Homo-oligomer: A and B are copies of this chain.
Amino acid sequence: MTERSWPDLATLELLSSVARTGSINQAAELHGISQPAASWRLRRLEELLGVTLLRRTRSGAQLTPDGSAVVGWAERVLTSARDLLEGVEALTSDGHAALRLAASLTVAEYLLPGWVTPLTRQHPDLALSLRMANSTDVVRLFERGEVDLGFVEGARAPAGMQGRTVWLDELVVVVAPEHRLARRRSPLGPAHLASTPLVAREVGSGTREVLERALAQHGLVPSVALELASTTAIKSAVAEGDGVAVLSLLAVARELADGRLRLVPVVDLDLSRAIRAVWPRSQPLNEYARALLEGIRHTG
């Protein structure tokens, strides 16, 4: 179905070499192929992308503006491809140690890095594989035995799985520094928050759900002025203008630290949600999954 034709990783690496050496010839030599072959591949790549990448002169080849942009992207592709090979390497080395994780986007982005680094320091040869997946996807991955340990947000563990709460994600109210609420001294009550027009994620998203549930306990519903699709979109919208948002503390920690956003204190409202590690009831955790959980317990 996907009718795209992918560029060739070897050619991307070749292009990167041309950028470094300034010569198709030398780049070809680096890769152990003949100069015409290199030239031909680069031309094919240009054809595929529909962009002129190189300005070929009689004294070398230089990147066009478009070309240097492509090199920037290409290097990222190569980096992740190297990660793949490196991971497989770890997989095939005697220990055969692998830990396959699945986590929601926010967990993967904000929490998992901190949990995982200690583990990789203890086991440098451990092959860590992470897949982004929402709660329902995680269940399916477990059914197929494709994952060792998963992380989901939500009230309780999915059916057939056991879990352990590893984190309490706290939602906070944030505004731009210029916003009038930023100067407010006394904390916001539930009624006041409910009457404030918010910038929020769509209905069905995790954070939106927590907010609605918390307000519902006081018989209130949030008033949403603007719905955006991603957390970063909300953050930049609020930072620019005069909006008010309710977001995970983790997602805005950096912005709070550097002053792009201000925190507005709230009282009498439980804006927290559990983040739990889950695994199938039927099979025990492997050594590394246990170690990871132990590490999280320690820090949390």
A87-B68 CB under 8 A given contacts A30-B2, A254-B254, A257-B250 = no
Q: Is the CB of A2 within 8 A of B13?
A: yes
- Assess whether B75 is in contact with A77, with CB atoms less than 8 Å apart: no
Q: Which of A1-22 contact B (CB under 8 A)?
A: 1-10, 13, 19, 22
Q: Is A255 a contact of B114 with CB atoms below 8 Å?
A: yes
Can you name the residue of chain B whose Cβ is closest to the Cβ of A6?
A: B9
A178-224 residues at the B interface, CB under 8 angstroms: none
- Segment at the interface with B among A144-152, A156-164, A265-273: A144-152
Cβ–Cβ contact A51 & B88, under 8 A: yes
Tell me how many chains of this kind the complex includes.
Answer: 2
| Interface status of A32 (Cβ within 8 A of chain B) | yes
CA A80 – CA B255 in complex, angstroms?
26
Pair B258/A250 contact, Cβ less than 8 Å = yes
Indicate if A73 sits at the interface (CB-CB under 8 A).
Answer: yes
- A43 interface residue per 8 A CB criterion: no
Q: Which of B72, B113, B260 contacts A130 (CB 8 A)?
A: B72
- In the complex, are the beta carbons of B6 and A13 less than 8 A apart? yes
A37 CB contacts on chain B under 8 angstroms = none
Query: Quick check: is A81 within 8 A (CB to CB) of the other chain?
Result: yes
Residue among B1, B79, B235 making CB contact with A117, cutoff 8 Å: B235
Interface size counted on chain A using CB atoms at 8 A: 79
Asked if B88 contacts A83 (CB within 8 A), the reply is no
Most chain B beta-carbon neighbours within 10 Å: one of A1, A7, A254: A254
Given B77, B131, B141, which contacts A80 in the complex, CB threshold below 8 Å?
A: B77
- Given known pairs A30-B2, A76-B80, the reply for A92 and B50 (CB within 8 Å) is yes
Check if A73 sits within 8 Å of B236, measured CB to CB: no
Q: Which of A21-73 contact B (CB under 8 A)?
A: 22, 30-32, 49-51, 62-63, 65-66, 68-73
Say yes or no: A254 contacts B253, CB within 8 Å.
Answer: yes
Nearest-Cβ distance from residue A42 to partner chain B, whole angstroms: 15
- Write the A115-129 contact mask toward B (1 if CB under 8 angstroms, else 0): 001100100000101
Residue in B closest to A63 when the chains form the complex, CB atoms: B146
Identify 23 residue pairs between A and B in the complex whose beta-carbon atoms are under 8 Å apart, listed by A's number. A4-B85, A8-B9, A50-B92, A66-B88, A68-B145, A72-B130, A73-B87, A73-B129, A74-B84, A76-B80, A76-B83, A76-B84, A80-B80, A114-B236, A114-B260, A117-B232, A118-B236, A118-B239, A121-B236, A249-B257, A249-B258, A250-B254, A253-B256
Extra 14 A-B pairs, beta carbons < 8 Å, given A2-B13, A111-B258, A253-B256: A6-B8, A63-B144, A68-B100, A68-B141, A68-B146, A71-B129, A72-B130, A77-B83, A80-B80, A110-B254, A117-B233, A118-B239, A250-B257, A253-B253
